[in-house]
Amino acid sequence: MVRGHLHGIARYALELARRLPLLEPGWQFIGLTAPAGVPDDLGELSPRIPLVKATSEFLGIFEQATLATDLLRQRPELFHATSFSLPALWPGKLVATIHDANHLALPESASVSHTAYYRFVVAPRASRAEALITVSEFSRREIAAHLGIAPERLQVIGNGVDASFHVPPAQDLADFRARRGLPGRYFAAIGNPKPFKNLKVLLPIAEGLPAPLVLLAGRGARRTVGFSEKVIELSPLPDEELVRFYAGACAVLVPSRYEGFGLPALEAMACGAPVIASACGAHPEVIGAAGLLVSPDNSLAWREACLRVFRDEALRRELSAAGIERAARFSWDDCAKQTLQVYRRALGLP
């Protein structure tokens, strides 16, 4: 699933791919990619293991038949499905990571085909897997409820924050703002135009904030969501610039109604940015008291939270310090070590 914009599920797979071989050098790890391979601009995230191109696109019409053939050809002792693309026709040992159940929990935001895929491919094959992983207690409850899987079958292994997400020097922030034409103070809003990302809760307040709203939600999101041209829109940023974007903001706003984990909020916290997030999904579990949690339905509450952070320097410092400390608890190394133990149990090894 590593293709195009580097979303959280893709980063999960890449972070495991670069850590697991170092933890168990006696094992051979192979990565199964999309037919086009992986992007060539991944930098430090570029896999350093052999890669095999799948015959068909993930979730395509021929996916299940060709996925089974691809796996039979490679003859792995264990396959880890790091996204919701599970091999229904392959009988081998399977570890599956199910990040959330949003296609079932939010049918209005999912296509009919994706909903059917969850019900008729993911749920039955997951029930036969040697081990199941999810990323938060929230997702464990959701998956149990919507896929009919006993919650005790799901082991929670949280995502991590890479060391590249850190507090950059002030001069780097000034250079970034100048290069991108950003003001000295701004609010950063992140997400995408999908309804459950809930960017529309910011529509009534965007032009009345004491600093401009800068939107990082994919090309054309400003028009799709309905923001005026007074809202600044940025194209997707590489990690180096994303760090500066987060760190330079008065606050990072994450209004999503449903997150299985909420990695962008945690990465923003690691960069020292105060975070204001919706009080739903996994946000309360992951962010805790290190950010401000706001109703996803109350635009005025979002405005009040923004004003508090903008006006109160002591609060900004407090949230920044708490966010850095909170994010430091989530490590990709720990994620990889726990995942390796899942592999060992699935293989019947000590």
**Six-digit token string for 238:** 């590489």
Contact at 8 Å (CB) between 35 and 54?
A: yes
Domain extent, residue 218, equals 170-327
User: Do 87 and 215 reside in the same domain of the chain?
Assistant: no
What percent of the chain is predicted at pLDDT more than 70? Answer: 99
Strand partners for 216: 190
3 within a domain of the structure (yes/no): no
> Does 141 share its domain with 213?
no
Residue 125 and residue 175 in one domain: no
Q: Is residue 23 part of a domain?
A: yes
Same domain flag for 238 and 292: yes
Does residue 184 belong to any structural domain of this protein? yes
Q: What pLDDT score was predicted for residue 4?
A: 61
Co-location of 98 and 121 in the same domain: yes
Residue 1 falls within a domain, yes or no?
Answer: no
Domain match, 113 and 188 both = no
Asked if residue 307 and residue 283 are part of one domain, the reply reads yes
Q: What is the pLDDT of residues 97-113, one digit of tens each?
A: 999 999 899 877 778 88
- The confidence score (pLDDT) of residue 90 equals 95
Share above pLDDT 90 across residues of the chain, in percent, rounded to a whole number: 85
pTM: 0.94
The answer to whether residue 252 sits within a structural domain is: yes
- pLDDT for 43: 85
Segment 312-318 mean pLDDT: 97
Asked if 263 and 282 touch (Cβ cutoff 8 Å), the reply is no
Per-residue pLDDT at 5 exceeds 80: no
What number is the average pLDDT over the span 54-75? 93
Q: Are residues 236 and 249 in the same domain?
A: yes
CATH of the domain at 236: 3.40.50.2000
Same domain membership, residue 322 and residue 219? yes
pLDDT at 174: 95
Q: Please report which confidence band the pLDDT of residue 148 belongs to, taking 50, 70 and 90 as the band edges.
A: very high
Where does the pLDDT of residue 60 fall: very low under 50, low under 70, confident under 90, or very high at 90 and above?
Answer: confident
How many distinct structural domains can be found in the chain? 2
Asked, for residue 20, whether it belongs to a domain, the answer is yes
Q: Are residues 106 and 187 in the same domain?
A: no
Residues 154 and 107 in one domain: yes
Q: Which residue has the higher pLDDT, 2 or 105?
A: 105
* Residue 218 in domain: yes
Report if residue 2 sits inside a domain. no
Mark whether 174 and 322 lie in a shared domain. yes
How confident is the model over 298-325, as a mean pLDDT?
Answer: 98
How sure is the predictor about 8, in pLDDT bands with cuts at 50, 70 and 90? confident
70 has pLDDT over 80 = yes
